[in-house]
Amino acid sequence: MPSYFSIIIELISICFAIFFIGNKRGWIFIFIPYLLLTVTVELIGYVLDNIYLKSNHFIFNLYYPFFAGFNFWVLHHCINLIKKISGWIWFMLVTIDVLVYLIEFIVNKFTSFVQHTNIVTMLLLTIICCYYYYILLKQDKYFSLAKYYPFWLVSGIFIFCFGSTMCSIFYIQLMQIKHKYNIPIRIILYFIFNIFLYGFWSYSFVCFGRKKK
């Protein structure tokens, strides 16, 4: 599955963000510059890999702290809307992720993608998303989930991170399918995860925009 399909999905999500968030105040506004950064990195990576035939690991490894940090930050805000969590817990989670990232950088000098960091990040984010669902279910207050934009932000992250975690666990099996049947199943799965991630985010922008009217 060509990577430019993912870029198209991200561009569509940016359009939703600009149209429904615009210049409205609130923490969700940061999605616009983040998505612009993501598309820029994806475009650079695509050009390096497909036109110049060079490794794009370095650019994605530099971008990775922004990806991880942003998703931790989004979950922090979504959880704090219904329950305050100690800052020390967030600090420890992020510290674990940063340490793995730094160790991987020291070991391989970014000559390959920070795969171990990615596994740890996806696992931590998946656990946090599950905790969000747990405290949401425990609330006495009624939430119309169809219109509750934080729920869709978290759900997009959950599907992407849980799916990525499963791909890491079953990496060998997925590679066997690729070699045996010549089907890039792992790439196809990530494309599907991207559809859910940016599709749910786009819908959350719609919910946010309508909520503010």
Digit-coded pLDDT (tens) for 97-106: 999 999 999 9
Could you say which DSSP state residue 146 is in?
Answer: T
CB 41 within 8 A of CB 63: yes
Q: pLDDT tier at 143 (50, 70, 90 boundaries)?
A: confident
C-alpha of 105 from chain center: 21
Q: What is the pLDDT of residue 1?
A: 43
C-alpha of 108 from chain center: 24
Is the pTM higher than 0.85? The answer reads yes
Within the chain, strands assigned E span none
Question: Which structure tokens are listed for 40?
Answer: 């820029």
Closest by Cα among 33, 52, 61, 45 to 6: 45
Q: What is the pLDDT of residue 212?
A: 57
- Which is higher by pLDDT, 71 or 51? 71
Q: pLDDT tier at 213 (50, 70, 90 boundaries)?
A: low
- Mean pLDDT for 88-108 is 95
- Which is higher by pLDDT, 49 or 156? 156
Looking at the predicted structure, is the pLDDT value of residue 127 above 60?
Answer: yes
Closest by Cα among 143, 137, 152 to 209: 152
- Mean pLDDT for 79-88 is 90
Looking at the predicted structure, is the pLDDT value of residue 25 above 90?
Answer: no
Tokens 């869709």 locate to 152
Distances (CA, A) of 156 to 23, 48, 56, 173, 201: 23, 28, 25, 25, 6
